[in-house]
């Protein structure tokens, strides 16, 4: 496929978004109005400008990623607009802004490429951790942490001209941490891979080398305790373990990581009410239907009511699901677009992951390989975690679905992630 | 360096495959279970938010309407501007609770058929009119309000209808409830009403049966005249007490005296004065079979064809009475196992008013489509013939005398011919039910037949009689009706 194909598919995604809006409006007996046209224009401008930026500053990048991101954004946006049209119009602004920032990332990296990021490794680490800790700021400060749905992962900033800006720094932090890890592991991977010690029959790296793994575990656990955020905690730690494995090829890290997740999970389950609640809601959502099980149960009702072809956009009742526009957007899509729509979404994520991992596999430089792999994995793990939660394969973790959920921080972070992948793809093909 | 990445890729793709399988399971295999789960409010909300047509009274009062939700123009909310006044007739299209009244029975007519299903789409394409239809009832709003006032908070029911058509002009039951309170997602008020010992949800006009007491003497008189060949002037013995054959029990009159002076009295006097002793004899003379056959000719033991489902009024099996003269005598007085709904007794009155013919009672006059065109109008039909025109005329005249100079005097209206029969139905434990059935022909224009029952004596308790409690209410209603049609 060529760049021209990419442009055509981006246009196709814009049409999907506009048709989605039209369907919603039709179901509201509004008919065709300016929102549909506005949607078409915004999608063409946002992803069109990103496409142009790719042509200009990453011309050799594979042409699959932008259309897939545009498609997921289009389906997500149509559903967000259906659930709450005022959220929809804000999401359009976020689309423009985050596509602009993604283009800016491509522009900034046009000269020396992603390897320039290695130089700022510890700045990325510090800013990543800082962003993670930001929600812990006192609530009386102008820039302050805020608790939403009992999780402390939001930061609010009072703007000088009135109004409040809310964002989830964790979404952006994950990218900074991937950059740090890729850079760190590219340098130290061989040492971590050296199995010089033994513990009984098991070959082990030097205990000193295990310190970073322990640190990552503690950070993830701290996030779980202080921010009560199961999703971000799990995502961070799973990311760390998979990247460590990718860099070293040593199964011991996977094994140790899995054990630590299991052990940490067990401790967290015994010690913290909010974890217990999540687990109970997962195992027995209908026991406390009106309480802790409500969201899981509503999600299942939505999925069941959607059946094969769905109720149609605007005709279902996704408004009954708590957090339908954010964490539970997949359940809303599955209700209104049915199994058909749900499969399209899962397939698009799988294709995005395949394309991303393909970039990693083809990268000759270890840093770029680990960066592309880490970025793809963080997106894939996030997708799998929230979908598995909705489908009751796993406790609900409360994280956004990339590109689809409503939310500026999430969209911005994933568009930057997309831009980095595009740049790496360009570099490995030139 | 690629092997670990390939491994991770496999794991991730297996995870995606599991997600696809999980979605299939949740949406298709387990889907119907989730969809039909009674905690899944989608189906209920879908129906509740659909537009329904308006319900109007005959004189154009708005009884029910759907107002669109300002936040979601596709969503409608039902509103009953008249509150409790029509709670039993119009009923309620509730959300979680079951629909009641005409809202339940006419759901298919009232509800918009427009929906997002494939069949809805096909219907729209083939040009079927799926818009909500409206309904105009036969009820006169002003008479309905007069009936509510007439009950004055006492437990009971009133049914008024046009005896020549069967059109129901008023139907009230007390205590009542506010249907607006049953709409919504809570069942608290519904549960409270359900458990209320005064049973406010019950439509006493059609769903409750009472011993009709002396109002049933109209039926007994019809049996004597129609089958037994008696006339108004036929003479019957006049004891102070009637010994019931085969028992030690006796029947006596309300005041404990004979039915006026003389050893013998006419059927006319017996009905005008509502003498139990004489009617015991009349019933025994007519015999179980003729008495029961006549009651069945009036509609007893048969479900009344009506828009709302009600109880069936009952008289005992003729065979069970044969040879038990005491039971026959008590049955002739509308006691023992005789049970009638107020609607049934209103139909007895309307049979007398309409030359012996009972018209099928109906509530829905017209069905109106969204363009305002009448698409269906109820044509009055005959339900059954209760008596010959001659018998009806005789009994009607006697009922008129009962109002002019007998037990029904409290229903008398100056310069207007009112016919009626009172009843004070004895109840095993507690005060009697006070009855009045009757009619006013109004020179055959806009005639009115009605039945009034006040449960357990109403405000008067043990001192209540049909003439004292129910007859004045009937008079008020007839006066209201006269004022309305003149």
Active site residues of B: 214
- Over residues B257-313, the pLDDT tens digits come to 888 888 889 999 999 999 999 999 999 989 899 999 999 999 999 999 999 999 999
The answer, for B14 touching chain A at a CB cutoff of 8 Å, is: no
Q: Could you say which of A28, A346, A354 has the minimum Cβ distance to residue B73?
A: A28
Q: What percent of chain B has pLDDT over 90?
A: 62
Closest partner residue to A300 (CB to CB) among B3, B7, B34 is: B34
**CA dist., res. A81 & res. A94, Å (int):** 13
Q: What is the pLDDT of residue B241?
A: 86
B68 touches chain A (CB under 8 A): no
In whole angstroms, give the CA distance from residue B90 to residue B307.
11
Give the pLDDT band (50/70/90) at residue B179: very high
Beta strands in B24-147, from DSSP E residues, in sequence order: 55-56, 62-69, 72-79, 134-137
Q: Is B6 on the interface with A (CB under 8 A)?
A: yes
- pLDDT (tens digit, 9 = 90+) per residue, B30-67? 988 888 887 888 877 776 667 888 999 999 999 999 88
- pLDDT band of residue A218 (cuts 50, 70, 90) is confident
Terminal Cα distance for chain B, rounded = 103
Across chain A, mean pLDDT equals: 88
Q: How far is CA B253 from the centre of its chain?
A: 31
CB contacts < 8 A, A to B, total 136
Secondary element (H or E) of residue A155: strand A151-158
Nearest chain A Cα distance for residue B21, angstroms: 10
Residues from chain B that touch A354, judged by Cβ atoms under 8 A, are 9, 13
* Maximum Cα–Cα distance across chain B: 126
CA distance A145 to chain B (A): 32
| Burial class, A2, CB count within 10 angstroms (exposed 0-12 / middle 13-18 / buried 19+) | exposed
Asked if B35 has any chain A CB less than 8 Å from its own CB, the reply is yes
> In this structure, what token pair is assigned to residue A222?
């701290």
Nearest to B42 among A312, A317, A393 (CB): A317
Q: Could you read off the pLDDT of B87-133 as tens digits, one per residue? A: 999 999 887 777 899 998 988 888 866 554 455 556 556 666 667 88
SS3 B444: helix
Nearest-CB residue to A388 (from B6, B19, B73): B19
Do residue B40 and residue A369 have CB atoms under 8 angstroms apart? no
Cβ contact A307–B28 (<8 Å): yes
Q: The whole model's pTM is what? A: 0.66
Return the closest-CA partner of residue B35 out of A311, A291, A392, A342. Answer: A311
* CATH top-level class of B206-364+379-485: alpha beta
| pLDDT 10s digits, A323-356 | 888 889 999 999 999 999 999 999 999 999 999 9
The Cα A153–Cα A407 span in angstroms is 13
Q: Scanning every residue of chain A, which has its alpha carbon at the shortest distance from the alpha carbon of B45?
A: A317
| B12 and A CB contact within 8 Å | yes
DSSP secondary structure, B147-164, as one string: HHHHHTT-SEEEEEE-TT
How many percent of chain A have pLDDT more than 70? 96
CB atoms within 10 A of CB B28: 16
Euclidean distance between CA atoms B299 and B359, whole angstroms: 11
Reply yes or no on whether the pLDDT at B5 is more than 70: yes
Residue B21, chain A, CB below 8 Å: the answer is no
| Least Cα separation, residue B134 to chain A (angstroms) | 22
Chain B: residue whose CA lies nearest to A26: B74
Query: What is this model's ipTM?
Result: 0.94
Residues in chain B: 486
- What secondary structure does DSSP assign to A384-408, as a single string? HHHHHHHTTSS-----PPTTTSS-H
The pLDDT-based confidence of B420 (bands split at 50, 70, 90) is: very high
Beta-carbon separation of A353 and B116 below 8 A: no
Nearest C-alpha in B relative to A341:
B23
On whether any CB of chain A is under 8 Å from the CB of B69, the answer is no
Give the 3-state DSSP-derived string for chain B, with helices as H, strands as E and coil as C. Answer: CHHHHHHHHHHHHHHHHHHHHHHHHHHHHCHHHHHHCCCCCHHHHHHHCCCECCEECCCCCEEEEEEEECCEEEEEEEECCCHHHHCCCCCECCCCCCCEHHHHHCHHHHECCCCCCHHHHHHHHCCCCCCCCEEEECCCHHHHHHHHHHHCCCCEEEEEECCCCCEEEEEEEECCCCHHHHCCCCCHHHHHHHHCCCCCCCCHHHHCCECCHHHHHHHHHHHHHHHCCCCCCCEEECCCEEECCCCCCEEECCCCCCCCCCCEEEHHHHHHHCCHHHHHHHHHHHCHHHHHHHHHHCCCCCCCCCCCCCCCCECCCHHHHCCCHHHHHHHHCCCCCCEECHHHHHHHHHHHHCCCEEECCECEEEEECCCCCEEEECCCCEEEECCCHHHHHHHHHHHHHHHHHCCCHHHCECCECEEEEEEEECCCCCCCEEEEEEEECHHHCCCEEEEEEEHHHHHHHHHCCHHHHHHHHHHHHHHHHHHHHC
Cβ-Cβ contacts under 8 Å for B108 (sequence gap 6 or more): none
Question: Which of B5, B32, B46 is facing A246, going by the closest CB pair?
Answer: B5
**Nearest-CA distance from B4 to chain A in Å?**
5
Cα–Cα dist A199/A10, whole Å: 54
**Chain A CA closest to residue B72:** A28
Give dist(CA A403, CA A72) in Å, integer.
Answer: 6
CB atoms inside a 10 Å sphere around CB B257: 12
Q: Does B33 touch chain A (CB under 8 A)?
A: yes
Question: What residue spans define the domains of chain B?
Answer: 206-364+379-485
**CB neighbour list of residue A384: distance below 8 Å, 6 or more residues apart:** B12, B15, B16, B19
Q: Which residues of A touch B13 (CB under 8 A)?
A: 350, 353-354
Query: What pLDDT is attached to residue B116?
Result: 47
């Amino acid at each position: 496929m060529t760049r021209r194909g990419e442009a055509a598919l981006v246009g196709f995604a814009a049409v999907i978004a506009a048709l989605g809006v039209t369907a919603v409006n039709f179901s509201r007996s509004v008919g065709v109005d300016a929102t549909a046209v506005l949607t078409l224009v915004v999608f063409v401008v946002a992803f069109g400008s990103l496409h142009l930026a790719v042509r200009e500053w990453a011309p050799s990048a594979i042409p699959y990623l932008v259309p897939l991101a545009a498609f997921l954004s289009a389906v997500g946006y149509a559903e967000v607009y259906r659930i709450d049209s005022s959220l929809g119009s804000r999401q359009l602004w976020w689309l423009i802004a985050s596509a602009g920032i993604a283009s800016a990332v491509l522009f900034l990296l046009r000269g020396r490429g992603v390897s320039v990021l290695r130089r700022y490794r510890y700045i990325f680490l510090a800013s990543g951790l800082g962003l993670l800790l930001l929600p812990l700021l006192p609530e009386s400060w102008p820039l302050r942490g805020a608790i939403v749905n009992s999780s402390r992962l939001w930061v609010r900033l009072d703007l000088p001209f009135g109004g409040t800006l809310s964002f989830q720094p964790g979404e952006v932090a994950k990218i900074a941490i991937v950059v740090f890890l890729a850079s760190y592991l590219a340098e130290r991977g061989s040492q971590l891979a050296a199995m010089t010690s033994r513990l009984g029959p098991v070959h082990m790296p030097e205990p000193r080398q295990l310190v970073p793994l322990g640190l990552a575990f503690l950070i993830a656990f701290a996030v779980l305790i202080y921010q009560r955020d199961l999703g971000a905690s799990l995502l961070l730690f799973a990311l760390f373990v998979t990247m460590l494995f990718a860099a070293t090829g040593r199964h011991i890290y996977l094994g140790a990581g899995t054990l630590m997740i299991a052990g940490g999970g067990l401790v967290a389950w015994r010690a913290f009410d909010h974890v217990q609640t999540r687990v109970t809601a997962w195992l027995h959502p209908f026991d406390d239907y009106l309480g802790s099980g409500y969201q899981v149960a509503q999600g299942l009702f939505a999925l069941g009511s959607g059946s094969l072809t769905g109720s149609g956009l605007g005709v279902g009742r996704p408004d009954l699901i708590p957090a339908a526009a954010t964490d539970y957007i997949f359940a809303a899509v599955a209700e209104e677009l049915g199994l058909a729509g749900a499969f399209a979404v899962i397939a698009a994520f799988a294709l995005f992951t395949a394309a991303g991992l393909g970039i990693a596999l083809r990268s000759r430089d270890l840093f770029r390989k680990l960066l592309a792999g880490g970025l793809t994995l963080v997106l894939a793990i996030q997708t799998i975690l929230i979908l598995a939660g909705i489908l009751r394969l796993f406790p609900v973790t409360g994280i956004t679905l990339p590109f689809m959920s409503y939310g500026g921080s999430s969209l911005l972070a994933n568009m930057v992630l997309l831009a980095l992948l595009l740049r790496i793809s360009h570099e490995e093909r030139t | 360096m690629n092997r670990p990445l390939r491994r991770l890729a496999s794991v991730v793709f297996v995870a995606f495959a599991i997600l696809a399988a999980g979605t299939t399971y949740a949406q298709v295999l387990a889907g119907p279970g989730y969809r039909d789960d009674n905690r899944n409010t989608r189906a209920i909300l879908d129906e509740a938010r659909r537009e329904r047509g308006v319900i109007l009274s005959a004189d154009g009062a708005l009884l029910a309407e759907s107002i669109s939700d300002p936040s979601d123009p596709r969503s409608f909310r039902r509103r009953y501007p008249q509150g409790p006044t029509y709670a039993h007739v119009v009923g309620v299209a509730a959300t979680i609770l079951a629909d009641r009244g005409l809202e339940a029975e006419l759901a298919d007519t009232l509800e918009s058929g427009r929906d997002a299903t494939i069949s809805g789409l096909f219907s729209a394409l083939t040009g079927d009119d799926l818009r909500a239809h409206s309904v105009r009832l036969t009820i006169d709003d002003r008479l309905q309000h007069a009936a509510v006032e007439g009950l004055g908070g006492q437990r009971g029911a009133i049914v008024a209808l046009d005896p020549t058509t069967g059109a129901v002009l008023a139907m009230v039951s007390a205590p009542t409830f506010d249907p607006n309170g049953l709409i919504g997602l809570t069942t608290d008020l519904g549960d409270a009403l359900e458990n209320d010992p005064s049973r406010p949800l019950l439509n006493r006009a059609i769903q409750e049966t009472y011993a009709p007491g002396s109002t049933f003497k109209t039926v007994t008189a019809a049996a004597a005249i129609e089958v037994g060949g008696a006339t108004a002037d036929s003479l019957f013995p006049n004891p102070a007490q009637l010994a019931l054959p085969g028992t030690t029990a006796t029947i006596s009159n309300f005041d404990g005296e004979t039915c006026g002076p003389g050893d013998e009295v006419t059927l006319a006097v017996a009905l005008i004065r509502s003498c139990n002793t004489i009617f015991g004899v009349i019933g025994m003379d007519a015999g179980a079979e003729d008495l029961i056959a006549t009651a069945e000719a009036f509609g007893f033991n048969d479900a009344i064809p009506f828009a709302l489902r009600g109880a069936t009024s009952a008289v005992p099996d003729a065979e069970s009475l044969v040879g038990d003269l005491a039971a026959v005598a008590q049955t002739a007085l509308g006691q023992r196992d005789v049970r009638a709904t107020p609607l049934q007794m209103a139909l007895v009155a309307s049979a007398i008013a309409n030359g012996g013919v009972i018209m099928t009672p109906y509530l829905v006059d017209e069905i109106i489509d969204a363009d305002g065109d009448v698409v269906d109008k109820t044509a009055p039909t005959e339900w059954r013939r209760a008596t010959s025109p001659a018998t009806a005329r005789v009994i009607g005249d006697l009922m008129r005398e009962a109002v002019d100079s007998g037990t029904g005097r409290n229903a008398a209206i100056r310069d207007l011919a009112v016919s009626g029969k009172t009843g004070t139905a004895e109840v095993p434990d507690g005060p009697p039910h006070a009855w009045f059935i009757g009619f006013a022909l109004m020179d055959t224009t806009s005639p009115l037949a009605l039945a009034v029952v006040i449960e357990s004596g109403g405000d008067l308790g043990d001192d209540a009689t049909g003439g004292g409690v129910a007859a004045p209410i009937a008079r008020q209603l007839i006066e209201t009706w006269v004022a309305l049609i003149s």
